Amino acid sequence: MRKIKELGEFGLIHQLSSRLKFRAPDSILGIGDDCAVYPVKSGMKEVISTDALVEGVHFKLSTTTPEALGRKALSVSLSDIAAMGGTPKRVLVTLGIPENFSVSFLDKLYSGFNTICNRFKVELAGGDTVSSPKCFFINVSVIGEANRVFTRQGAKPGDLIFVTGTLGDSSLGLKLLNRTKKDGSNDYKFLTEKHLDPTARVHEAGILARSKINITSMIDISDGLVQDLYHICKASKVGARIYEDQLPRSPEFARTCKKRSIPPLPLILNGGEDYELLFTLPADGAKNLNRQFLKAEVLVTQIGEIALKPRKVLLKMKDGAQNILSDSEGFNHF
């Protein structure tokens, strides 16, 4: 395989973008000019966001594959669009590449990009390619469209709190990657894949957006359930109560915590990177929600309710005790 130096910046961009097979039907210009160009749909709102992944901070080259890294880099950005109830349409990707980095790694990374672009009908419409003195990094900007927009603000006292999927799998997977020898079990595979290759809940966000359900607030769980629930509470000026025995966990998670004597609750509450949707709705919408999700393959679980006071997140334990949870246990970069 040729080296980056031999390909040059434009040769590299050409080679990588030839991996990308999905082109949005309404695109006017994609990769190759100074800008990508597409028409704007009248009556729709545009939703945009950006996310960076830095080697050594967000991933280690020793524990992931380039394909999975490509899929994850796009998924975490698509998850932000899903969290607003939007449909992702286009992404722009900036790569920071250290000297002597492997072209074959980048090829496989783009093959991971291509998988997600095809799966969610998202066009990779451009980007930038720069050298980076030490670490490899990826920045993904995403543009989507929305009819109804769900924000963090709007949760009302009495609303029910729901979450998609299961909690804690990703952080337990990370723990396994960091501290144990690889093991061949299905549980190990399931949990580490939840960390290395999360699924953005784009389809589930679509179900919510198309339904008549009055979603009063929504966020995706990237920093941990409690920290992200606090984001909703602060924006909505309310508090929340959640129930220990209602927090959804996968059988793989439960078995592994038991087998390795790992306390499950901190992972469920503060683990982060689950990329599940956390949202609220008035109690009379619950039936409709469950009906809508019967068709989806993803679980949706009521984990608690919104209260006017105190403006805290309270955890009701199985034994009846009630704890005030801290808003600073989840992931924080600084």
Q: Is 270 within 8 Å of 191 (Cβ atoms)?
A: no
Out of 78, 82, 91, 95, the residue judged to bind ligand ADP by CB under 6 A: 95
How many residues touch ligand ADP under the rule CB under 6 A: the total is 13
Cα within 13 Å of Cα(272), Cβ side: 13
User: What does 127 bind: Mg ion, ligand ADP, none (CB cut-off 5 to 8 Å by kind)?
Assistant: ligand ADP
The per-type count for the chain, helices as H runs and strands as E runs, is 10, 11
Pick 86 or 126: Cβ nearer ligand ADP: 126
From edge to edge, which strands make up the β-sheet containing 313-316?
Answer: 217-220, 277-281, 160-164, 300-307, 239-243, 313-316, 322-325
Cβ distance to ligand ADP smaller for residue 44 or 53: 53
Look up residue 57 and give its DSSP letter: T
Residue number of the CB atom closest to ligand ADP:
126
Q: Does 8 bind ligand ADP (CB under 6 A)?
A: no
Contacted entry of Mg ion, ligand ADP, none for residue 95, CB cut-off 5 to 8 Å set by kind: ligand ADP
With respect to ligand ADP, which residue has the nearer C-beta, 6 or 284?
6
Binding partner at 126 among Mg ion, ligand ADP, none, C-beta below 5 to 8 Å by kind: ligand ADP
Query: What three-state secondary structure class fits 122?
Result: coil
| Alpha-carbon gap, residue 132 to 147, rounded angstroms | 39
Helix (H, G, I), strand (E, B) or coil at 56: coil
240 binds, among Mg ion, ligand ADP, none (CB under 5 to 8 A by kind): none
- Residues binding Mg ion (CB under 5 A): 128
113-172 residues in contact with ligand ADP (CB under 6 A) are: 126-129
Q: Which does 183 bind (CB under 5 to 8 A by kind): Mg ion, ligand ADP, none?
A: none
Alpha-carbon distance 59 to 10, whole Å?
Answer: 27
Residue 9: CB minimum distance to ligand ADP, A: 6
The site string for ligand ADP over 32-51 (x = CB under 6 A, - otherwise) reads: xxx-----------------
CB of 8 to ligand ADP, least distance (A): 11
Tell the burial category of 255 from Cβ atoms under 10 Å away from its Cβ (0-12, 13-18, 19+): middle
3-class secondary structure per residue, 206-267 = HHHHHCCCCCCEEEECCCCHHHHHHHHHHHHCCEEEEEHHHCCCCHHHHHHHHHCCCCHHHH
Restricted to residues 55-94, the positions that interact with ligand ADP (CB under 6 A) are 93
Residues near ligand ADP (CB under 6 A) are 13, 16-17, 31-34, 93, 95, 126-129
